[in-house]
Amino acid sequence: MDIPGYGSYLEPFDNEPKMKFFRKIRESLLTENKTTRYLKYAAGEIILVVLGILIALQINNWNEDRKDQKKATEIYANLLTSLIQDSVEAQRTIDLITLSLQTQKAFISNDSPQYLDGRSQEEIDQMVRALSGAVMSFFPKTGVYELITTNNSMDILKSEKIKSLLINLYDFQYKRYENIDAIIDHKYHYQLGTLIRTRIGQIGEYNSASEFQLVRHADPEKLQEYYPELVAECKDIFGALSTADNYLIQIRSSINELTKMIRQELPSSGR
């Protein structure tokens, strides 16, 4: 058996100067026919060897525990950074979707074109622009979690609660949101978004900070003309978008719970 720092513990002793000394003691005891004393001495020697092995094993375990703790700290730190970024992006998407839902609800509740009477160009642009928030999607950063699962590093994390929340967030909540988001994406690009761009005339884009940049104003007359169709498209997408919004609120709540727990696992300097 090899013990780190000791090599094989059965053979090397005869090669050590001190072992020669103990061997001479054994030979002397046997020569003098002092069997009882010899047995006691032999037992003591065995105990010393066993104690040495146990100490070496304990030191090795301590070293492995330190390595695992260091790796766990690195994992927690990387997870914390990723989750904080996801929390910010989730809230940004929630804000845009919520505004879109509020505007859709107003259109659905006022399904007559007269709802637009007396509104300025700026007001019309703002309402139509708000509808475009439906197209915004949340894209979580899953790289750290995927690396953990690929490398079988989950067992290093001692907190069963954190592991359970991580699995629920990445393998259930994120995937559930992705499914509903795909439905919304299709409905917007091929229905509501197409109506806004080709019929009502407003064209805009979102920059990297999710800020809407207006490229072309909405046509008030076209909006009046296609208002019933716009209301119909709002009714069609409203349910799915509301579900996505609720999923994102739950996701952000789970992220915040996880970040709080992970901070508690990190050294004070890493919180």
pTM of the model: 0.76
Residues 6+ positions from 159 with CB-CB distance below 8 Å: 261, 265
* Pair of tokens at residue 83: 């989750």
Domain boundaries, the chain: 89-270
With bands split at pLDDT 50, 70 and 90, how would you rate the model's confidence at 23? low
In this predicted structure, the answer to whether residue 248 has a pLDDT above a threshold of 70 is yes
* Pair of tokens at residue 63: 């070293």
Helix-helix angle 160-168:227-265, to 10 degrees: 160
Nearest-CA neighbor of 243 among 202, 182, 195, 194? 182
Q: What is the pLDDT of residues 214-228, one digit of tens each?
A: 899 999 999 999 999
**What would the DSSP string read from start to end of 53-121?**
HHHHHHHHHHHHHHHHHHHHHHHHHHHHHHHHHHHHHHHHHHHHHHHHHHHHHHHHH--SGGGGTT--H
What type of residue sits at position 108? I
How far apart, in whole angstroms, are the C-alpha atoms of residue 109 and residue 235?
10
Tallying the residues shown for the chain, one arrives at: 271
Q: What is the pLDDT of residues 259-270, one digit of tens each?
A: 999 999 998 644
